[in-house]
Structure 1
């Protein structure tokens, strides 16, 4: 295989760009600091004393900032009424505010690395329109796989936090329960007939089993197949269960922000329609894999006045991929709205507290306001990581399935490449490359198509399922 080619040059150039421009130009920083986000400031002790008519004490430490003593919340304790009428001041979110927040470095790395990987993928795809791959490794797939792994790692690390503290018993139980629920759902999905739910796993397993048996026979090993279908499906179901567990709380967080946005835009029906439409888009993506509902309607049925279906099967595959890409772009564009809805929780908390009886300490009140902004980067990761994972799984699905960009309503013209067999210098090297080519035939395009088709569909399904469960919870169990 030719490793030294245009793709490697593009990769090396992008690595240089990351090193030189990465610290100065960051899309992640722009999303948080240049989209008009506003945070709420907690009141200082002096302001609380004045509102509560508490005599002022002599300060023991020199104040360095508003409500801050030596960089921390003041330890001067006194009690105030929960119903105290406190008006929170606001300030725009700046880079100096977010750089010290928890998970900011992880958030910036994931978003910026995803941007760089996306640029490499687009350049590679455009280049391959005129110069198809022959004996060359597609390095853009390596970048895409790294992005997916980074997103999974961050989502897993956020979920693991619920299993470390003793105060997260409810969250821990929720993750475990949802893991078993998604395990059951995955097992149910895996037994659905391919004529109903077109995931491609059956044909992928058949092709993989036959190719693997042939490969093992050439190596002098007798085998009817590397693994049984039941074992492979059980492993897939376990992976689906883990995906459902780590996306449970991100989905519920997104649903909470969506619910708050609907209440905020209650006077604007157009914005409510836009929010509800974008919220339902993952469901529309899920049904694109249900053949009787969508694919047969566009690729089999012939409407009156026409002599052929609306689309070919190949065009429908491309349209399905484009639909996922468009959905992710729309949701990223609406991200500032959702993050602002989260930051507004500080205001709503103080307003709800005014309806309560009793007393609260000044530090507890200040922490209640400041904690919202403290977890801003965590919420941004919960919003973006599932979308990034869906996006790059779709890119891998498109490329590894050997789909070509072209006219959506026409079959692509794929020219066969007459490549002469290579002559290697010695017999051991010749045997090595022959073995490598044989191993490559085991993971053929139809095998990878089935695997990544299911991975893409399941990521969209879990995203929709978790956000829907969260919205149901907000509708019936949250206090308005």
Structure 2
């Protein structure tokens, strides 16, 4: 109990609140349904008037109700008015990935609450931060992995043989991102300020603390040499792990970012206010602005700081990334309105690809847009939640941006330091930069692809 302390109590309380109040009060359900409308096809009596008839005998053969797979053709001219309906709990249950979206958003709010309460408690009692396991990191890591898994499931949809163009785009961009990460890592220290070698040193130190009986048992026997540990876990293997994780992250983010890019330009075209359009453009280029803080010419020189000073540049990086995440989440409703409004243009899109449009094709097209609303929502806020969890993990691994210092405490205590996330501080900083680069690069590639098409 001394190792976990109040973290266990806080975890049990929050878990009980989620279990009891989750079915009745859900942040995810409110976030996905507030102020949004979806479009449905008109009733069959109205839709029949838009069916093409060549003579009186053809009109007599038109049934009074049109099934979903009706093969009757629609008129080639004139739009068909769609009926807007508010999104409520009953209809949103029918959409794909709704439960996953709701669960991620609800758990994300719980994670923010646990992290905030834990930080406030540690401010008043810093010894707990240095001696106890921070359970908020477990909460963050859980939603980190779950969001990554759900984004992977969405990405594998585009690998099917029924979508050859999407599959080629996904494979080509993923391979190019793999080449990019191989090109960027050797530039660490000369062009970029990733400090991955310091992360490797922390990783080796953590292994020494874990594997050396002299540290754990306070004896002087069977001491493990540092060179031996480095020979089994070389720096190249450490970089290979980072390359593998970065490539996987780039793969799962390709199509969410491509779909966001297309949705962004549609939203800009539909928006009329100058302030709103400016905000949308700022939101689009904000990852590029944040990327610049990792360049050596802009990054803060830690050697010039006083011994007990907080490095300013990591604080700026953290704040700008959080601003980016908040900005994108605040524009979620506006982008989803644009996505749902695609149903109004579905008939024109079908007419541009098919010479004759059947009633069944039209109905399926309109219904499919709202049916994939949960997946479209996950593709929009999934990368944002993923990036936020990286920042929260970085916040804890950096001892809350070096506000709480445990270096002196670890020198006097035993191997409890193995539970700390300090070994992940610099890899998480690089992963933050990498996600921002993927957001910017794939968005740029998506805009060029749309312009070429």
1:82-161 correspondence runs (5 A): 82-132=76-126, 133-161=129-157
5+ residue gaps, structure 2: 54-58, 214-221
Instruction: Specify the alignment match of 2:452 in structure 1.
Output: 477
In the other structure, the counterpart of 2:216 is none
**Cα shift at 1:85:** 2.9
Pick closer, same or farther for the CA change 1:259–1:159 going to 2, 3 Å: same
CA distance in 1, matches of 2:132, 2:354: 70
Question: Per-residue CA shift, 1:188-227, capped at 9, x if unaligned?
Answer: 1100032431112012223433664676565555615132
Aligned to 1:247: 253
Which moves more between the two structures, 322-331 or 75-84? Answer: 75-84
Cα distance, 1:211–1:357 mapped onto 2, change above 3 Å: closer
| Partner of residue 285, structure 2 | 280
Counterpart contact for 2:212–2:223, Cα < 8 Å: yes
Pick closer, same or farther for the CA change 1:207–1:121 going to 2, 3 Å. Answer: closer
Determine if the alignment matches structure 1 residue 454 to structure 2 residue 430.
yes
C-alpha contact (below 8 Å) 1:81/1:357 kept by paired residues: no
- Structure 2 distance, partners of 1:357, 1:143, is 50
**Structure 1 residues 196 and 75, CA gap change in structure 2 (3 angstroms):** closer
Correspondence for 1:466 among 419, 442, 445: 442
Deviations 1:249-277 (A, max 9, x none): 10011101100011112x32221111001
> 1: CA distance between counterparts of 2:4 and 2:144?
25
- Residues of 1 paired with 2:437 and 2:37: CA distance? 33
Structure-to-structure mapping, 1:402-413, within 5 angstroms: 402-404=399-401
Distance, in Å, in 2 between the alignment partners of 1:56 and 1:103 is 43
Moved more, 38-47 or 146-155: 38-47
Offset of residue 82 of structure 1: 3.8
Q: Distance in 2 between matches of 1:229 and 1:300?
A: 24
Q: Which residue of 2 aligns with 1:262?
A: 268
Which has the larger share of helix? Answer: 2
Aligned to 1:9: 9
Secondary structure at 1:24's aligned position in 2?
coil
> Per-residue deviation at 1:387?
0.5
Q: Which residue of 2 aligns with 1:426?
A: none
Distance 1:158-1:372 versus aligned 2 partners, 3 A rule? same
The one-character-per-residue Cα deviations of 1:64-86 (angstroms, maximum 9, x if unpaired) are xxx7xxxxx53443122343432
What are the equivalent positions in structure 2 for 1:55-454 lying under 5 Å apart? 55=59, 74-132=68-126, 133-163=129-159, 165-209=160-204, 212=207, 216=211, 218=213, 219=222, 223-225=228-230, 226-265=232-271, 267-295=272-300, 314-353=311-350, 358-404=355-401, 436-437=415-416, 439=418, 445=422, 447-454=423-430
Deviates more, 1:391-400 or 1:353-362: 353-362
Q: Deviations over 1:274-328 (max 9, x none)?
A: 10011111111211111203536xx899xxxxxx99xx66233223212211221
Q: Deviations over 1:401-451 (max 9, x none)?
A: 113586xxxxx8889559986xxxxxxxxxxxx5x44756xx773x32212
Structure 1 position 23 matched with structure 2 position 18: no
How many residue pairs match? The answer is 433
CA gap of 1:159–1:190, structure 2 versus 1, over 3 A, is: same
What is the SS of the residue equivalent to 1:43? coil
The answer on whether the counterparts of 2:52 and 2:74 sit within 8 Å (CA) in structure 1 is no
What's the RMSD between the two structures over aligned residues?
2.9
Cα distance change, pair 228–417 in 1 and its aligned pair in 2 (3 A): closer
C-alpha spacing 1:405/1:33, structure 2 compared with 1 (3 Å):
farther
